[in-house]
Amino acid sequence: MDEARPDAPGADRQPALLVRAAGRLCAVPIAHVVEVMRALPVEPIPGAPSFVPGLAIIRGAPMPVVDLGLLTGGRSASGRFVTLRLGDRRAALAVDAVIGVRTVDARLLQTLPPLLRDAGAEVVDAIGVIDTELLVSLRAGRLVPEDVWQAVAAGEAPP
């Protein structure tokens, strides 16, 4: 019986965009990624969580910006935006650096340990190791809180 090659595509191997924010290596499912660009100016959203610095105008549309560094408990990330498609909505993820696209073996990822579940359960899908470095796999659909989406829809951002 032949063993499966570790680099063979399959349901357990999913492409992801690897990014770095606040020293952490994170994976964003490639299916959600629209584009990567330089960081743009951001206007604050009153009452938004600290990890949502505000809105950026991207391709003519206002999009909430999520600072991945602050979201994961580190310092603010800057330098690049990764625009994400989250259902029928779009948002920008502020990161320090974009590493590239890599196939991530889901069999090597683990759910969050009980001690960390409360801290990251909303946005962290799983954790693992890639090239001897901790990898945080993100739930892209949970990055922007619903109240931020409501503020964007209501036009509560400053002009």
Write out the residue range of the structural domain in which residue 17 sits: 13-153
Q: What local confidence, expressed as pLDDT, does residue 42 receive?
A: 96
Please give the single-letter amino acid code of residue 102. Answer: R
Instruction: Give me the CATH number covering residue 113.
Output: 2.40.50.180
Q: What local confidence, expressed as pLDDT, does residue 10 receive?
A: 55
Considering the domain boundaries, does residue 59 fall inside one? yes
Q: What local confidence, expressed as pLDDT, does residue 149 receive?
A: 87
Query: Domains in the chain: how many in total?
Result: 1
Instruction: Supply 89's token pair.
Output: 């909505």
120's enclosing H/E stretch is helix 114-120
Instruction: Supply 139's token pair.
Output: 């739930």
Considering the domain boundaries, does residue 31 fall inside one? yes
Output the pTM of the full model.
0.78
Q: What local confidence, expressed as pLDDT, does residue 142 receive?
A: 74
Q: What local confidence, expressed as pLDDT, does residue 118 receive?
A: 46
Q: Strand 124-130 relative to strand 24-29: parallel, antiparallel, unpaired? A: unpaired
Instruction: Supply 10's token pair.
Output: 């399959």
Considering the domain boundaries, does residue 158 fall inside one? no
Query: From first to last of its 159 residues, what are the pLDDT tens digits of the chain?
Result: 444 444 445 557 789 899 999 998 988 999 999 999 999 999 998 888 999 999 999 999 999 999 999 988 888 888 999 999 998 999 999 999 999 999 887 777 666 555 454 444 567 777 778 787 877 778 777 788 888 888 888 775 444
